[in-house]
Chain A
């Protein structure tokens, strides 16, 4: 086992060596521009892209013509939300999303608010799932888009996608989902799930960084988005720019591998995740955040009450994890996702996200369990709050001197 161990696979995944192997020829040999239609260099590149497009489409049950390559999920989210708003503005200006979405969705919506959009931000329940009745109540005759993520990046909960799309379609709106954390980890099928637009990204599924896709449905209904960048009209006019051929080839290979291996992998990872969780929640006052039934197989988000996340991460020095604590982020605000679940600030500050992945071994998980336990105990020995809790003092009644 090599230290430090990597348990932050929701932030990004290492690239699978098989993906790298598929990409290599496209840097120096098949380096052509996929849009060069009149010589073999262009044809070789185009062939690589075409094949990758099929691999990507296959993983999500789409037609290859429905895949628009982008620079990643951030761009795909922006293209979907802003592109739909612009394309369908005669139909309405109302978009529904929820408070636990990724910033790329929330900030794209904020941007549109300045341009006259009405945005409804649905609250989530304490388990992180939206309330379907609230969704239905929020829809108006001006609603053009419902944007709800598939799997959450911090707590891993999976929203009831089929039900959400059914409600959305009943009222004649389009359904977009940011499926960045779900695609390649669990079965995602755009037909069965009733998805009209979907964003996802290669670097979360053992592919390269800087490449992703927007799925745009072509039939029942035919969906269109207004391009957000002007240029050569690539990708059916929806996303101009010379294609990132090696990246796209790698993305394709990554999708193929996920398609072949994710069922087994999910079983293995959820067993490891369960082991991690059950071993760590033995510690007093530790809580798993988010719904434990409807969730991705590879992520555990746990709050260790009375210890602060960043301090804790420092003690877990041989492992890479992430924390909802404010001190780790530039904003000084603890995780808005955890706060949306109704967690108090102090519990949000005390959270650690463990993200397992394809290359995580059982030995590493065992190591993580031992290190984490030690770290929590070390920090609780140092924590005045833990001491007060042990003395039976109600911390909510203490008058704190905020600084």
Chain B
């Protein structure tokens, strides 16, 4: 199966690889997936006083599409408000990266990671976790 140019670009030059200090109160961390499944994604956001995401970082163990999905997600997150970020849908990622059907779960993982990071941030700051109304499983 051939990869799209955008997947290859994100894979070869991943954006925002790295680690934020997860002990900080304004940092939310989402760690989703499992090594046995062949994919683990960690996505982190740093949020300012206005609930705007000022920085985002990721690390991913997984296939090229999973790496590209999380790299793209960090790009999209930066500058977004928490609420806008919560609205990112995995199908947006599928479309942008032209992922084939067998790779849709890689984008689902990215959406799950975004939501997990936001909820981690919310819980740390005394807000209740949001449950996503949609379920992929």
Contact = CB atoms under 8 A, between A and B. Distances in A.
Contacts of A311: 11, 61-64, 66-67
A243 to B, nearest CB: 36
Interface in B104-137: 105, 108-109, 112, 116, 136-137
Contact of A308 (B11, B38, B108, B116): B38
B12 to A, nearest CB: 8
A383 B59 contact: yes
B55 interface: no
B40 A307 contact: no
Nearest to A395: B35
A382 B35 contact: no
Interface residues of B, number: 33
A195 to B, nearest CB: 38
A310 B112 contact: no
Interface residues of A, number: 29
Interface stretch (B26-34, B45-53, B76-84): B26-34
Given A400-B35, A403-B33, A384 B40 contact: yes
A308 B62 contact: yes
B59 A384 contact: yes
Given A381-B17, A401-B116, A310 B105 contact: no
Given A308-B38, A308-B63, A384 B109 contact: no
A306 interface: yes
A300 B41 CA distance: 29
B35 A310 contact: no
Contacts of A345: 35-38
A104 interface: no
B137 A403 contact: yes
Contacts of A330: 102
Contact of B38 (A315, A326, A382): A326
Contacts of B17: 381-382
A163 interface: no
A362 interface: no
A384 B42 contact: yes
B137 A382 contact: no
A314 interface: yes
Contact of B3 (A314, A381, A400): A314
- Residue among A325, A401, A403 having the largest count of chain B Cβ atoms under 10 Å: A403
Interface string A384-403: 11110000000100001111
A330 B17 CA distance: 29
Interface of A: 306-311, 314-315, 325-327, 330, 334, 344-346, 349, 381-387, 395, 400-403
7 nearest A-B pairs in the assembled complex, by CB-CB distance: A400-B34, A346-B35, A345-B36, A384-B42, A384-B59, A314-B64, A310-B63
